[in-house]
Amino acid sequence: MTSWLLLAEAGASAAGTPEGGLFDLDATLPLMAVQVVLLTFILNALFFRPVGRVVEEREGYIAISRSQAKEKLAQVQRLEADLKEQLKDARLQTQKVIQAAEQESDKLYREAIALAQAESNASREAARREIDNQRSAALGQIRSDSDKLADQIVDRLLAAS
């Protein structure tokens, strides 16, 4: 402090005036210090605190929204995987159902065809049997008729002779 005062005096004497000079220390110093301290409190109230609050709120908001978005993304991915699984199951099931239905219809078709074939075979067999019966009956009839005719012929011929 003394060295500064000496410098101040030197400055004052160099300027050639009883007061003044570059290094003229006086009550400006403490008053300026008080003024700067006051300015610190004023700026703290008007600037640093409110702006800091806004910036930090925004940072918090961004962090929270980010984590929420990440959570949602994870949820979406989980749901997507879930749905894919379900979709695969559903596809498998449909395939199974389709296969079963195809087999069923095939079976039904075959059964129906077999049934129809059996029926047609049976009716053909019946028809043939009927035909055979009728033929044998007709043959019998013819034979008996021919026998009767032959008898008659023989009788007529015998009667005539």
Q: How open is the CA angle 114-115-121, to the nearest 5 degrees? A: 85
DSSP string, 131-149: HHHHHHHHHHHHHHHHHHH
* Contact window for other proteins (CB under 8 A) among 49-57, 70-78, 110-118, 150-158: 49-57
Gap between the Cα atoms of 78 and 89, Å rounded: 16
The verdict on 64 binding other proteins (CB under 8 A) reads: no
* Piece in contact with other proteins (CB under 8 A), picked from 21-29, 78-86, 100-108, 133-141: 21-29
Among 10, 33, 90, 154, binds other proteins (CB under 8 A): 33
By CB under 8 A, which span of 32-40, 93-101, 102-110, 124-132 interacts with other proteins? 32-40
Name the residue with tokens 């028809």: 127
Q: Which of 57, 89, 145, 147 binds other proteins (CB under 8 A)?
A: 57
Q: CA geometry: angle at 128 spanning 127 and 134, to 5°?
A: 90
> Which DSSP state fits 46?
I
Q: Give me the residues that bind other proteins (CB under 8 A), please.
A: 4, 11-12, 15, 17, 19-33, 35-37, 39-44, 46-52, 54-55, 57-58, 61
